[in-house]
Amino acid sequence: MVAGAALTLVASMTPAQAESAETIIKSPNVKHMANLPKTGSFAGAEAFNSDLAFQGNYAFQGNYNGFTIYDIKDPAQPKVVSRVSCPGAQNDVSVQGDLLFLSVDSSRDSDSCKSDYGVPTSKASWEGIRIFDISDKARPKYLKAVETACGSHTHTLVPATSSKSVYLYVSSYMPADIYAECKPPHDKISIVKVPLDEPTAAKVVSTPVLFPEGGNEQQEGLLLPTSGCHDITVFPSKNLAAGACMGDGVLMDISDREHPKVTATVTDENFAFWHSATFNNTGTKVVFTDELGGGLSVTCNARIGGQRGANAIFDIVDGRLTHQAYFKIPRHQADTENCVAHNGSLIPVKGKDIMVQAWYQGGVSIWDFTDSAAPKEIGYFDRGALSPRRTGGSWSAYYYNGFIYSSDIQQGFDVLRISDSRTDAAAKVRLKALNTQTQLPF
């Protein structure tokens, strides 16, 4: 197939499924450049690889047991620079200068990297943000811990209006009366301010309530009622944020970084769990993902169909969210494969809205939503089912400086390249860093 030619993908059609996780099916315009498998204490089935961040010639990969730093100067031959053992789900990661931040959303008996599981009913337990000095990539140094209410499931790096500090918008949820430091109501986020010249002074500076009257709690079919947010993406140049908040999708004004305000809210009876958000490059659209089944279920098959567990594309019109279409990968997965929309990023093509996205065991999808009402897939990469059955697949798939990097929960760190006339111009765009939930126009 000639690069740039439209792929013939029919929603009801399933290509020959790969026989095992070692077998790959992909579109002709995608090349698998490299894979580094999990090793050592990160190799176990419960040591999930999680999110990715990038800076210069380095990639940073979270894992439930810590994080890994890779040298990606030659993307076809990535190398492990260091691996830091520091258990705590999910260990979602972001970087700023010489600092690395990790989200911990599981009770620990201390904030130490040698901590063990804690008891959430005890005030002695800890969860929140960990901060590391990564000035020496081969020897990261643990600097500081900041405890946050209900932990930190995810966090978003938010540039301050001055260059002296950054903020972390911490998303967390699932309060319960029995928890010592995570009691309902919890319709809020935590905001951590980090002085860049004194990161050990980082602290929670506000806990704004986003849903003072409660969020969407009654809708039939919700995985969980709104009790905070799962993930937030910011578009700092417009003082805008999009929050995926369990039962609600929201827009926020973040002109006052410590006191964001919800300006628009939307619900969708097709959505079970508002998971994450991605703006287009002009901040005039938002793609929200629905994590149907919590990421653990089989949702990419004929029984579930092509709409549930899909992305929803919204245009921002006069400050409101206007639904345009759904998009879901057009390949059915085996009935043992957990599959649902997950983390992705824009491919920087001027004048186009093209995104690469992880779908757990649905693989990696590249799709075009330039026409909000008619999104279409233009490429994909997909492994076969894991055997024995377990949770796996691509957690995050992001485009950075000419290549696609995928954090595979079980299979490690993948590097892909797309060669297609619709995306080739993106290879000329060079970024100094990428924290995907912090969208800076290219």
CA distance 262 to 242: 9
- Using H for helix, E for strand and C for coil, what is the string for the chain? CCCCCCCCCCCCCCCCCCCCCCCEEECCCEEEEEEECCCHHHCCCCCCEEEEEEECCEEEEEECCEEEEEECCCCCCCEEEEEEECCCCEEEEEEECCEEEEEECCCECCCCCCCCECCCCCCCCECEEEEEECCCCCCCEEEEEEECCCCCCEEEEEECCCCCEEEEEEECCCCCCCCCCCCCCCCECEEEEEECCCHHHCEEEECCECCCCCCCCCCCCCCCCCCCCCEEEEEHHHCEEEEEEECEEEEEECCCCCCCEEEEEECCCCCCCEEEEEECCCCCEEEEEECHHHHCCECCCCCCCCCCCCEEEEEEECCEEEEEEEECCCCCCCCCCCECCCEEEEECCCCCCEEEEECECCCEEEEECCCCCCCEEEEEEEECCCCCCCCCCEEEEEEECCEEEEEECCCEEEEEEECCCCCHHHHHCCCCEECCCECCCC
Establish how many alpha carbons lie within 13 A of residue 293's alpha carbon, considering only the half-sphere containing its beta carbon: 19
Residue whose structure tokens are 């993908």 = 9
- Residue type for position 420: D
Q: What is the pLDDT along the chain (442 residues), one digit of tens a residue?
A: 233 333 323 333 344 455 577 789 999 999 999 999 999 999 999 999 999 999 999 999 999 999 999 999 999 999 999 999 999 999 999 999 999 999 999 999 999 999 999 999 999 999 999 999 999 999 999 999 999 999 999 999 999 999 999 999 999 999 999 999 999 999 999 999 999 999 999 999 999 999 999 999 999 999 999 999 999 999 999 999 999 999 999 999 999 999 999 999 999 999 999 999 999 999 999 999 999 999 999 999 999 999 999 999 999 999 999 999 999 999 999 999 999 999 999 999 999 999 999 999 999 999 999 999 999 999 999 999 999 999 999 999 999 999 999 999 999 999 999 999 999 999 999 999 999 999 999 9
CA distance 427 to 328: 26
CA distance 360 to 234: 24
Beta-carbon neighbour count of residue 239 at 10 Å? 16
Residue 53 contacts residue 12 (beta carbons within 8 Å):
no
List the domains of the chain with CATH numbers: 24-434 (2.130.10.10)
Closest CA to 275 of 283, 287, 263: 287
CA distance 145 to 159: 20
CA gyration radius for the chain?
Answer: 20
Tally of residues, the chain: 442
Beta-carbon neighbour count of residue 223 at 10 Å? 17
pTM assigned to the model: 0.95
Any residues with CB less than 8 A from the CB of 160 and at least 6 apart, and which?
166, 167, 193, 257
Query: Both ends of the chain: CA-CA distance in Å?
Result: 30
Residue 105 contacts residue 151 (beta carbons within 8 Å):
yes
Residue 49 contacts residue 407 (beta carbons within 8 Å):
yes
Closest CA to 356 of 373, 380, 336, 385: 380
